[in-house]
Amino acid sequence: GESVGLHLPTLSVQEGDNSIINCAYSNSASDYFIWYKQESGKGPQFIIDIRSNMDKRQGQRVTVLLNKTVKHLSLQIAATQPGDSAVYFCAETLGGNQFYFGTGTSLTVIP
């Protein structure tokens, strides 16, 4: 299901540190998950995805972990840079049509 965006979690990290952004999804049957990055004034941008038959997937500086037992998704960003400052959304879907987005987490990188 959907989350109502009343409160946006925030995360502040020092430049160069690793960041971990967490997301709890709602539908245990969801079979595909995506992380998006949204910079101010722009649309969400695809970062990385993972299918439900996997528990880990790595990209360039980013890793997504999926724990289906507790319906938890995380995004790890290695060596966080100022350009990583943005709002990060997780999205879940079953069948690929209805995508449900989390409330988002605001990441601020401190130089």
Which residues contact another protein (rule: CB under 8 A)? Answer: 2-6, 31-32, 34, 36, 42-46, 49, 51, 89, 93, 95-104
**SS3 annotation, the chain:** CCCCCCCCCEEEEECCCCEEEEEECCCCCCCEEEEEEECCCCCCEEEEEEECCCCEEECCCEEEEEECCCCEEEEEECCCCHHHCEEEEEEEECCCCCEEECCCEEEEEEC
| CB-nearer residue toward another protein: 12 or 45 | 45
Residue 83 CB, shortest distance to another protein, in Å, is: 18
| CB-nearer residue toward another protein: 17 or 55 | 55
| CB-nearer residue toward another protein: 6 or 111 | 6
Residue 23 CB, shortest distance to another protein, in Å, is: 13
| CB-nearer residue toward another protein: 63 or 99 | 99
Residue 111 CB, shortest distance to another protein, in Å, is: 27
Rounded Cα gap, residues 110 and 7, in angstroms: 22
